[in-house]
Homo-oligomer: A and B are copies of this chain.
Amino acid sequence: MPVYHAPTKDMLFVLDEVLKTAEAGIEGYEDLDRETLQAILDEAGKLAENVLAPLNKVGDEQGCSLENGVVRTPEGFREAFDQMRDGGWTALDCDPEYGGQGLPYLVSTAVGEMFSSANMAFNMYPGLTHGAYNAIHAHGSAEQKATYLPKMVTCEWGGTMNLTEPHCGTDLGLIRTKAEPQDDGSYKITGNKIWISAGEHDMCDNIIHLVLAKIPGGPDGIKGISLFIVPKFLVNEDGSLGERNALSCGGLEEKMGIHGNATCVMNYDGAKGFLIGEMHKGMRAMFTMMNEARLGVGLQGYAQGEVAYQNALGFARDRLQGRDVTGVKNPEGPADPIIVHPDVRRNLMHQKSFVEGARAFTFWGASMIDRAHRNEDAAAEGLISLLTPVIKGFLTDKGFDTAVLAQQTLGGSGFTREWGLEQFVRDARITMIYEGTNGIQSLDLVGRKLGQDGGKHVMAFFDMVKDFIKETKGQDEAFDRDFLDPLKLASKDLQQAGMYFMQNGMKNPNNALSGSYDFMHLFGHVCLGLMWAKMGLAAKAAIEGGASDDFYAAKLATGRYYMARQLPATAMHLKRIESGAETVMELDAANF
């Protein structure tokens, strides 16, 4: 049976010592001192460890079932959801006007990592609700907000996002779901949606569906899409639940993982819907909260890596096989624990250095979102928009890889259900696909974000790296050699790749597009390199300040591993990018 330990100490290090929350100058961060953060994270950790984690395997094994239109979630999910609601965990960063606690997004990000590591399938129910809350909060009328938000803050009512149809996922311009205007100002929604996470279940009194549909007569393609609120139960004027709307769950998807989450086919049979935001501006409304939603998926990716790593580490410390070639380490035992073996350590260090770097990157990204929203800081908004596809694409690819590496640490046991590692791999796999496949992320990065506002944001990123190196360099030779020099090299590779796109993408866009995926990974490595340099600096400061905790020395060692053994990937990605489109585009489709 796998275990989960909330990594509170590492989170506090990132929040308090690297991001220095309380002094960061972001509105609402003043109160985020170490004690406050610790109190919140300790409580969240208890829920994650004691309530959510034990249900992870149950959810995987039982899955959800559909009978007569009713979806049953796995045993214990409902009670766990009640505990989550009662503890106020669904309301953390919601608007106090609707019953939220008004905490920064950063705090809910840290808590969200714990909940996702502990039970990703479960945490999608409040996660989707929060996404729908965000969209209504940003685009709903005052009346719509008053009607729906208070109950969604508490998760008494759930929420969903309905985009995909059987014939279209990425290319939403092709959707066929119809919204016909009615005399009372509402719309009649008719169509089929698939892959609707949490589309129907037994844990909420009502479910508020956000549905993309086309109003007949509107423009073709994505310019003719509008967004609608389509509640499972219509809401009476007094806020009580009224009649059942004409929508139903037509089936549950059988899938590789996240079995505890109901992935529904949703049928809208002339259901009553309410336009949210402007007519034909549905895509914009749906994607307003994109940065948060995609950061949330990047988080899920590395969060599965984290819990997988924890279990690999436990196994490597316990399992006795073979002897250390440089001298027996466990003379009383029949063999040494496998963590003595260099290749097992290489594997563990790879996992650890990724996960800790990813956490810092994600928390930093969440603080940028807070800075953008709370301080209305356009530069922060630009930077996080640029990096959102990197967070989503890179952290989910590597999060999955990390879970696979962790599984490998266990050898044959990693392949068995019993040890649970294989579930982390199966669950992590979806993060590379949903909320825009990672291929789409890379196109968003190279095709849209890179050139946005004249390339201002990517320039700001390079300046940030350059300034950091300039400010830090020359104080400590070893730190310069181990951290700053590799970071500089990697950043140069990234710049050169960007330059290649500028020089060759004009001639032929395929030169840029066929390098986009490698560019996303190259970018991700530079970001994690920067984070590791920042963390290394904070750890060094703590040690120089007299801290005796081994934690800081371990942090520096892990950072050195990242710089020495993960960053060399940047040169490979650059070389692939510079090989251009020719080998990618040459074959006719028929000759593959």
A417: chain B residues within 8 A (beta carbon) = 254-256
Contact digits for A16-44, partner B, Cβ 8 Å, 1 yes 0 no: 00000000000000000000000000000
Tally A residues with Cβ within 8 Å of B.
95
Chain B nearest CB, measured from A441 CB (Å): 10
Q: Is the CB of B349 within 8 A of A587?
A: yes
A550 and B513 within 8 A (CB): no
A66 at the interface (CB under 8 A from B): no
A495 at the A/B interface (Cβ < 8 Å)?
Answer: no
A576 touches B568 (CB 8 A): yes
Q: Are A510 and B565 in contact (CB under 8 A)?
A: no
- State which residues 329-348 of A face B: CB under 8 Å: 334-335, 337, 339-348
Nearest B residue to A174, CB-CB: B334
Q: Does A217 contact B (CB under 8 A)?
A: no
> Is A554 a contact partner of B425 (Cβ separation < 8 A)?
no
B565 touches A415 (CB 8 A): no
Contact A583 B561 (CB under 8 A): yes
- Interface presence of A272 (CB below 8 A): no
Q: Contact partner of A572 among B253, B343, B422, B569, CB < 8 A?
A: B569
Question: Would B352 and A170 count as touching, CB distance under 8 A?
Answer: no
* Cα of A429 to Cα of B411 in the assembled complex, Å: 11
Q: Are A256 and B415 in contact (CB under 8 A)?
A: yes
A430 at the interface (CB under 8 A from B): yes
CB-based contact A575/B568 at 8 Å: yes
Nearest chain-B residue to A166 (Cβ)?
B413
Q: Which residues of chain B are near A400, meaning CB under 8 Å?
A: 404
List chain B residues, Cβ under 8 A from A168. 321
Cβ of A46 under 8 Å from chain B: no
Q: Are B256 and A550 in contact (CB under 8 A)?
A: no
| Contact between A255 and B169, CB atoms less than 8 A apart | no
**A322 contact set on B, CB distance < 8 A:** 170-171
Q: Which B residue sits closest to A446, measured CB to CB?
A: B343
- Residue pair B438, A592 in contact (C-beta under 8 Å): no
A584 within 8 Å of B (CB atoms):
yes
Q: Do A171 and B513 touch across chains, with their CB atoms under 8 A apart? A: no
Q: Which residues of B contact A325 (CB under 8 A)?
A: 509-510, 513
In whole angstroms, what is the CA distance A564 to B349 when docked? 30
Q: CA–CA, A345 to B580, complex, Å?
A: 13
Residue from B343, B429, B517 in contact with A415 in the complex, judged by beta carbons closer than 8 Å: B429
Could you tell me if A584 and B345 are in contact, using CB atoms closer than 8 angstroms? yes
A424 to chain B, nearest CB (A): 11
Decide yes or no whether A418 CB sits under 8 A from chain B.
yes
CB distance from A406 to the nearest CB of B (A): 12
A439 with B408: in contact, given A342-B585, A550-B591 (CB under 8 Å)?
yes
- Which chain B residue has the least Cβ–Cβ distance from A310? B592
Chain B positions within 8 Å of A572 at CB level: 568-569, 571-572
- Once the chains bind, are B583 and A564 in contact (CB under 8 Å)? yes
Q: Does A311 contact B (CB under 8 A)?
A: no
- Chain B residues whose C-beta falls within 8 Å of the C-beta of A553 in the assembled complex: 591
Most chain B beta-carbon contacts within 10 A, residue among A168, A426, A550, A587 = A587
Judged by a CB distance under 8 angstroms, whether A8 is at the interface is: no
Q: Are A321's CB and B170's CB within 8 A?
A: yes
When C-beta atoms are compared, the residue in chain B nearest to A516 turns out to be: B343
Residue of B at shortest CB range from A329?
A: B589
Q: Is A375 close to B, CB under 8 A?
A: no
Checking B348, B425, B581, B591 against A592 with a beta-carbon cut-off of 8 angstroms, the contacting residue is: B348
Instruction: Write the A271-313 contact mask toward B (1 if CB under 8 angstroms, else 0).
Output: 0000000000000000000000000000000000000000001
A560 within 8 A of B: yes
A316-334 vs B, Cβ < 8 Å mask (1 yes, 0 no): 0100111001100000001
Q: Does any Cβ of B come within 8 Å of A164's Cβ?
A: yes
Q: Which residues of B contact A321 (CB under 8 A)?
A: 168-171, 174
Q: Which residues of B sit under 8 angstroms from A257, Cβ to Cβ?
A: 415
A residues 147-189 in Cβ contact with B at 8 Å: 164, 167-171, 174
Count chain B CB atoms within 10 A of each CB in A322, A422, A568 and give the residue with the most. Answer: A568
Interface residues of A (CB under 8 A from B): 164, 167-171, 174, 195, 253-257, 313, 317, 320-322, 325-326, 334-335, 337, 339-349, 352, 400, 404, 407-408, 411-412, 414-418, 422, 425-426, 429-430, 432-434, 437-439, 442-443, 508-510, 513-514, 516-517, 550-551, 553-554, 557-558, 560-561, 564-565, 568-569, 571-572, 575-576, 579, 581-592
10 new A-B pairs (CB below 8 Å) besides A404-B429, A554-B591? Answer: A254-B417, A256-B415, A256-B425, A325-B509, A341-B513, A342-B581, A411-B433, A551-B591, A557-B583, A568-B575
What are 8 inter-chain pairs, A to B, with CB distance below 8 A? A167-B320, A256-B422, A326-B508, A343-B439, A408-B432, A426-B426, A568-B575, A569-B572
